[in-house]
Amino acid sequence: MKLRQYFRIWLACIRYSMVRTMMFRFDFFLWSAVELAWMSVNVLLVEVIYRHTDSLAGWNKYEMLLLVGTSMLIQRLLMGFFWSNLFEMGRNVRTGAFDFYLAQPGNPLFMVSTRKLDPDGLANTVVAAGLVFYAAHKLGLHPGVSGVLLYLALVACGLVIHYSLFLLTASLTFWIIKTEGIEGSYFTVVDFSRLPREAFRGAASVLMVYLLPAVIVSNVPATTLIRGFQPAYALWLGAASVAWFALAVFVFNRGLKRYASASS
């Protein structure tokens, strides 16, 4: 199947998701409000902390807000584009409904990942982007077009890593009955993305910065916007996104070979 055909399928899925959302408008506004409240709590936490200190691991208040905004932006994009699809994959595998995706003419991973779009998850990307813009303004940052594009490219790399980590946890359902607990631990890990890399020392640094990419997904884009382009950091994040995506796809494809469909 050609790339153009995949794009048309994705657009059709978006139209379906928007129609479904408009049928349940209250649900859309409710969950958008819940996510906005969660984001507000994180911002207020930063405000409270910086009433008692001027610096945290070398980051001032507005640098921290920019970091938190970057982390929120990546997570909102994940929730909007991929969360529901991957979260439902485990249930579909257990019930045999996964056959529906295998019967489609496209790549199974593409069909699994893009069937639904969650507008309530995407709605607050505007808030997250606004927080980044506000913090950058307070810091006196004036990145040019190239700087903004580089920041967005690094955010995209962070999104690929988030997607890959969640795909890995969801793919475990091919081997074990339920993965809800593991999926919950995923959010515990990614919560560390709102902390500066410099705050981690010793074993925590090895685990959260180097072994798991929980910290670099947001730290590298934020640091690049604040301090300018740093090739080593950008290459680090780019290489990590490629490596984790390749691993996630490998595990997913191995899981497909173990899948016993409802009709078998």
**Bridge partner residues of 100 (DSSP):** none
Q: Let me know if residue 264 belongs to a domain.
A: no
pLDDT digit string (tens) for the chain, length 264 residues:
678 888 888 888 888 888 887 787 777 787 778 888 878 888 888 889 888 888 888 889 999 999 999 999 998 999 889 988 888 887 788 777 888 888 877 888 998 888 888 887 788 898 899 999 999 999 998 888 999 999 999 999 999 999 998 898 888 888 877 666 666 666 777 777 888 888 887 887 778 777 778 888 999 999 999 988 889 989 999 999 999 999 999 999 998 888 766 555
CA distances from 209 to 15, 115, 125, 214, 222 (A): 39, 32, 25, 7, 15
Per-residue tokens: 142:
């004036």
Query: Collapsing DSSP states into helix, strand and coil, what is residue 59?
Result: strand
Q: Let me know if residue 104 belongs to a domain.
A: yes
Percent of the chain with pLDDT over 90: 28
Q: Let me know if residue 263 belongs to a domain.
A: no
Query: Collapsing DSSP states into helix, strand and coil, what is residue 264?
Result: coil
Could you please report the per-residue DSSP string of 3-57?
A: HHHHHHHHHHHHHHHHHHHHHTHHHHHHHHHHHHHHHHHHHHHHHHHTTS-S-BT
Residues 6+ apart with CB under 8 A from 121: 31, 35, 76, 78, 79, 80, 81, 83
Query: Collapsing DSSP states into helix, strand and coil, what is residue 227?
Result: helix
| Sign, Cα dihedral of 11, 31, 85, 77 | positive
Q: Let me know if residue 44 belongs to a domain.
A: yes
Q: What is the pTM of this model?
A: 0.88
Q: In which domain, by residue range, is 154 found?
A: 3-258
- Phi, psi dihedrals of residue 174, rounded to the nearest 5°: -70, -20
Q: Which pLDDT belongs to residue 182?
A: 64
In contact, 150 and 220? CB cutoff 8 Å: no
Per-residue tokens: 94:
């257990």
Estimate to the nearest angstrom the gap between the alpha carbon of 64 and the chain centroid. 19
Q: Let me know if residue 96 belongs to a domain.
A: yes
Helices (H), strands (E): how many in the chain? Answer: 13, 0
| Model confidence pLDDT, tens digit, residues 117-138 | 888 778 889 889 999 999 999 9
Q: What is the CA radius of gyration of the chain?
A: 19
Q: Let me know if residue 235 belongs to a domain.
A: yes
| Sign, Cα dihedral of 64, 65, 67, 72 | positive
Q: Which pLDDT belongs to residue 118?
A: 85
Structurally, how many domains does the chain consist of?
1
Q: Let me know if residue 180 belongs to a domain.
A: yes
Angle at 242 between CA 177 and CA 90, to 5 degrees: 15
Q: Let me know if residue 160 belongs to a domain.
A: yes
